[in-house]
Amino acid sequence: MADRFEICVEKLLNGEVICEQSSPEEMRYLENQEHLNRVNNFLMQLRRMINKTSDKRGFYCVYTDLSDSDRRHKVRAQLDEAVCDFNGLVDWLRLCRNVSADGRPLEAGDILRESELLSAIENSNTLCQQLERIADKFQRARKAMTTNNRLRSILDYLINKGYFVQANSTGSVYIATAKWSLLYDELDFVHSFDGFEEPSGDAIQTELF
């Protein structure tokens, strides 16, 4: 059986975000500085290292050297894949904000209940249209006859992408992971790269909307 060090390394090299919601044991392992250094020293031999999301809620892996063309190609492919989903993900965040009682951006650890989402969407033409656009952008259940099927398909997609974990066996309650934290950092990077004025602190999340 793989030990915690090996599990952490494999998850990081596979592009996963290690956080309290998705990998609580690995998260606690990496919060120990000695363990963190051990994993980092190993990754450095592969010209990679551990990075942490801006909100400190998740660990992920980055390259330390992009002089090699093959590594640059891999990074470009990863960024291109992320960019393809950006519009759909931001629309999903808008939808969740519109449904939320306090209207704040989605964060790691937040709980979503499918029944509450479905009820709010079915009672609002605007939210129904938002859900249809999201389904179209993710290419999920675009021809679904019911809002329920469309919503479930999108949630399944977001789980597969690592943005949520199921909180119960029925799959009706979902917990947001630190993959959202990484998304905010990626969006901030893209905005900065494109010449947008960089907001600071919590303003980053607000500016996304």
User: pLDDT tens digits, residue range 24-49?
Assistant: 999 999 999 999 999 999 999 999 99
Q: Would you say residue 51 has pLDDT above 60?
A: yes
**pTM (2 d.p.):** 0.84
CB-CB neighbours of 165 under 10 Å: 15
The tokens describing 192, both together, are 């900065």
* Choices 3.40.50, 1.25.40, 1.10.3470, 1.10.10: CATH for 84-207: 1.10.10
Q: Kindly report, residue by residue over 78-136, the tens digit of the pLDDT.
A: 777 777 788 899 999 999 998 987 878 899 999 999 999 999 999 999 999 999 999 98
How many angstroms separate the CA atoms of 164 and 175, rounded? 5
Residue 146's pLDDT is what?
A: 86
For residue 128, give the nearest of 151, 106, 105 by alpha carbon. 151
pLDDT band at 141 (very low <50, low <70, confident <90, very high): low
- Enumerate the domain spans of the chain: 4-63, 84-207
Q: Would you say residue 202 has pLDDT above 60?
A: no
With b for 16 or more beta-carbon neighbours within 10 A and e for fewer, the 37-56 pattern comes to ebbbeebeeeebbbebbebe
Residue 121's pLDDT is what?
A: 94
Residue type, 4: R
Backbone dihedral region for residue 188 (phi beyond 0: left; psi -120 to 50: alpha; all else: beta): alpha
196 compared with 129, residue with greater pLDDT: 129
Sign of CA dihedral 182, 183, 184, 188: positive
